[in-house]
């Protein structure tokens, strides 16, 4: 695959079923139209190194080709094997390369990268990977999955596993990206359900269910309605890995109580999917009710946070709509589905009071839109100055809107 190469993948909003999705219950998520991660792959200055430039998390690291050689032979292992369980041999071989990367954000991003790179590209060197994202990190909007998808698509192409000339990503290629990004998510947070990387790969909206055999089933929800909603980011940091393992521990300690909660969340997602397929004024109230119940169950699982309850409390007291946390919780984001008759001035008051009194950030964003996408080298070279300038650390992420697949004049392939 000739360089440079640019890949991109969206973030997501889970409407129903976070956490329960990990335990094979159905869940619904949609891609976030305007919040995406972009990965630019270029020739490195030195042919003997592989370089990561991930400024959002302060990671700028180079490995020498000699460090990447001598990796275990993964011979017979296919993606499904890695999906079931990460290779202990590969993990052990990567550990010394990760040793100097302290802090979980850097460590997990680099681990995800190295696992995919060694598995799919061998000891190739002389490549630099630069990331720029408009997604908040660790906020429940799937930044981990979007970076894993960008990496799986780029590394799959560099390793010759995906066609370099295609004018469209085929079904099999999307499946490849879905599987390998799931493996990347596993490096970042242990036991992902796969819903985030499925949405970041396929885009639009999906009804997702993980199967007992580590396979996943995701059904595209066509004509996903544009539900009027406000996303609020508390900015309270948290880690999906820690929250997911906390829920697992609760299920072990209190199975008789927690298993029915998780099952109820699955029922909510199934009912939610029926409503969303045929949303009307008459079932909109039920949709809001499902949002309210889903949040209550997430509280019972211990994954809310006082900072998220502020959003819920304000939304409820203003009777503006129904609020639930979205993503892993513990901080991060909440979504508020607005009542159909919510007055414009009340919506403005809701947003400004969350922003000014609590320092939260609110987003009004469309849902749906393209999943993973790439731009081939000839197109990039024709627009190189523009693209390279956007990856400059001093350039605000708002400028990334000129790159948006589907909106940009650049020829994204997806
Ligand atoms: N722009 C980025 N640059 C580098 N790493 C990123 C980026 N976005 C996400 N990550 C990786 O994803 C992790 C955050 O994932 P997670 O805790 O699942 O939160 P979320 O997916 O809700 O944003 C970070 O620790 C980091 O390793
Ligand atoms: C909690 C969970 O359901 C969603 C996590 O999403 P996020 O990483 O917080 O964006 C975990 C998963 O499904 O993999
Ligand atoms: Mg995540």
The verdict on residue 20 lying in a domain is yes
> Is residue 47's pLDDT more than 80?
yes
142 lines ligand 2 (CB under 6 A): yes
Return the pLDDT at 387.
95
Return the pLDDT at 163.
86
Same domain, 163 and 63: yes
> Is residue 96's pLDDT more than 80?
yes
Same domain, 64 and 186: yes
pLDDT tens digits, 6-28: 999 999 999 999 999 999 999 99
The ligand 1 atom nearest the CA atom of 59: 4
The whole-model pTM stands at 0.97
Return the pLDDT at 129.
98
The verdict on residue 408 lying in a domain is no
Sheet holding 321-325, edge to edge: 321-325, 333-338, 229-233, 361-363
Same domain, 99 and 139: yes
pLDDT tens digits, 56-75: 999 999 999 999 988 998 88
**The two structure tokens encoding residue 158:** 């560099």
20 lines ligand 2 (CB under 6 A): no
Same domain, 317 and 398: no
C-alpha 408 to ligand 2 mean position (Å): 29
Same domain, 236 and 275: yes
The ligand 1 atom nearest the CA atom of 112: 27
Return the pLDDT at 122.
84
| Other Cβ atoms closer than 10 A to 71 | 18
How far is the C-alpha of 162 from the C-alpha of 166, rounded, in Å? 9
| Other Cβ atoms closer than 10 A to 160 | 11
Contact yes or no for 334/305 (Cβ under 8 A): no
Ligand 1 site-directed mutation target among 104, 144, 200, 330, most atoms within 8 Å of CB: 144
- Active-site positions read 196
What's the whole-number mean pLDDT along residues 373-399?
93
Q: Considering only CA atoms, which residue is closest to atom 23 of ligand 1?
A: 138
Same domain, 255 and 358: yes
C-alpha 65 to ligand 2 mean position (Å): 34
Q: Provide the number of structural domains found in the chain.
A: 2
The verdict on residue 30 lying in a domain is yes
Q: Considering only CA atoms, which residue is closest to atom 22 of ligand 1?
A: 140
> Is residue 214's pLDDT more than 90?
no
Ligand 2 site-directed mutation target among 15, 133, 139, 240, most atoms within 8 Å of CB: 240
**The two structure tokens encoding residue 197:** 């990387």
The verdict on residue 262 lying in a domain is yes
C-alpha 85 to ligand 2 mean position (Å): 18
Beta bridge partners of 39: 7, 131
How far is the C-alpha of 169 from the C-alpha of 167, rounded, in Å? 7
Return the pLDDT at 103.
79
C-alpha 378 to ligand 3 mean position (Å): 32
Q: Considering only CA atoms, which residue is closest to atom 13 of ligand 2?
A: 193
Say which CATH number the domain at 236 has.
3.30.70.890
Same domain, 68 and 146: yes
Same domain, 254 and 359: yes
Choose among 76, 144, 67: nearest CA to 105: 144
> Is residue 164's pLDDT more than 90?
no
C-alpha 103 to ligand 3 mean position (Å): 16
Same domain, 177 and 286: no
138 lines ligand 1 (CB under 6 A): yes
Confidence label for 222 from pLDDT (cuts 50, 70 and 90): confident
The ligand 1 atom nearest the CA atom of 196: 21
Confidence label for 312 from pLDDT (cuts 50, 70 and 90): very high
Least confident of 70-74, 261-265, 321-325, 385-389: 70-74
Return the pLDDT at 364.
86
Return the pLDDT at 271.
97
Query: Residues of the chain with pLDDT > 70: what percent?
Result: 100
The verdict on residue 68 lying in a domain is yes
C-alpha 289 to ligand 1 mean position (Å): 31
Q: Considering only CA atoms, which residue is closest to atom 21 of ligand 1?
A: 142
Return the pLDDT at 347.
96
Say which CATH number the domain at 208 has.
3.30.230.10
Mean pLDDT of the residues in the chain: 95
The ligand 1 atom nearest the CA atom of 55: 3
The verdict on residue 49 lying in a domain is yes
What is the domain range of residue 124?
Answer: 5-222+368-403
Same domain, 63 and 170: yes
Which one of the ligands is nearest to 327 CA?
Answer: 2
> Is residue 123's pLDDT more than 80?
no
The verdict on residue 294 lying in a domain is yes
Return the pLDDT at 165.
75
How far is the C-alpha of 9 from the C-alpha of 52, rounded, in Å? 18
Choose among 363, 337, 367: nearest CA to 351: 363
The ligand 2 atom nearest the CA atom of 22: 13
pLDDT tens digits, 223-274: 899 999 999 999 999 999 999 999 999 999 999 999 999 999 999 999 999 9
Same domain, 56 and 171: yes
Contact yes or no for 333/233 (Cβ under 8 A): yes
Return the pLDDT at 212.
87
Return the pLDDT at 166.
75
Ligand 1 site-directed mutation target among 14, 138, 140, 185, most atoms within 8 Å of CB: 138
> Is residue 124's pLDDT more than 90?
no
Same domain, 218 and 233: no
The verdict on residue 414 lying in a domain is no
């Amino acid at each position: 695959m000739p360089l440079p190469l640019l890949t991109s993948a969206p973030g997501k909003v889970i409407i129903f079923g976070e956490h329960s999705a990990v335990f094979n219950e159905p869940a619904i998520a949609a891609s976030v139209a305007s919040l995406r991660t972009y990965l630019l792959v270029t020739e490195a200055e030195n042919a003997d190194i592989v370089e990561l430039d991930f400024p959002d998390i302060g990671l700028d690291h180079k490995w020498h080709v000699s460090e990447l050689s001598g990796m275990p032979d993964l011979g017979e292992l296919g993606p499904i094997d890695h999906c079931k369980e990460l290779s202990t041999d590969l993990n052990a071989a990567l550990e010394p390369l990760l040793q100097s990367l302290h802090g979980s954000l850097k460590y997990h991003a680099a681990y995800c990268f190295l696992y995919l790179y060694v598995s799919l590209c061998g000891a190739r060197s002389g490549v630099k990977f630069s990331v720029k994202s408009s997604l908040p990190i660790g906020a429940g909007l799937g930044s981990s999955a979007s970076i894993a998808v960008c990496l799986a698509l780029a590394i799959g192409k560099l390793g010759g596993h995906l066609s370099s000339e295609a004018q469209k990503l085929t079904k099999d290629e999307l499946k490849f990206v879905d599987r390998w990004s799931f493996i990347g998510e596993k490096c970042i947070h242990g036991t992902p359900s796969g819903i985030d990387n499925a949405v970041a790969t396929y885009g639009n909206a999906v009804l997702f269910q993980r199967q007992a055999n580590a396979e996943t089933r995701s059904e595209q929800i066509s004509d996903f309605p544009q539900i009027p909603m406000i996303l609020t980011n508390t900015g309270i940091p948290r880690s999906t890995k820690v929250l997911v393992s906390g829920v697992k521990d609760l299920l072990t300690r209190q199975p008789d109580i927690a298993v029915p909660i998780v099952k109820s969340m699955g029922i909510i997602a199934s009912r939610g999917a029926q409503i969303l397929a045929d949303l009307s004024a008459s079932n909109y109230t039920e949709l809001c009710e499902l949002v309210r119940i889903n949040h209550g169950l997430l509280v019972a699982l211990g994954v809310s946070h006082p900072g998220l309850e502020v959003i819920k409390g304000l939304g409820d007291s203003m009777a503006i709509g129904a609020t639930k946390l979205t993503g892993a919780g513990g901080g991060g984001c909440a979504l508020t589905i607005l009542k159909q008759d919510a007055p414009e001035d009340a919506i403005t008051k809701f947003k400004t009071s969350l922003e000014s009194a609590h320092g939260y950030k609110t987003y009004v964003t469309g849902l749906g839109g393209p999943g993973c996408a790439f731009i081939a080298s000839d197109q990039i070279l024709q627009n190189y100055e523009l693209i390279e300038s956007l990856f400059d650390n001093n350039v605000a992420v708002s400028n990334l809107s000129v790159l948006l697949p589907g909106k940009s004049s650049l020829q994204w392939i997806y």
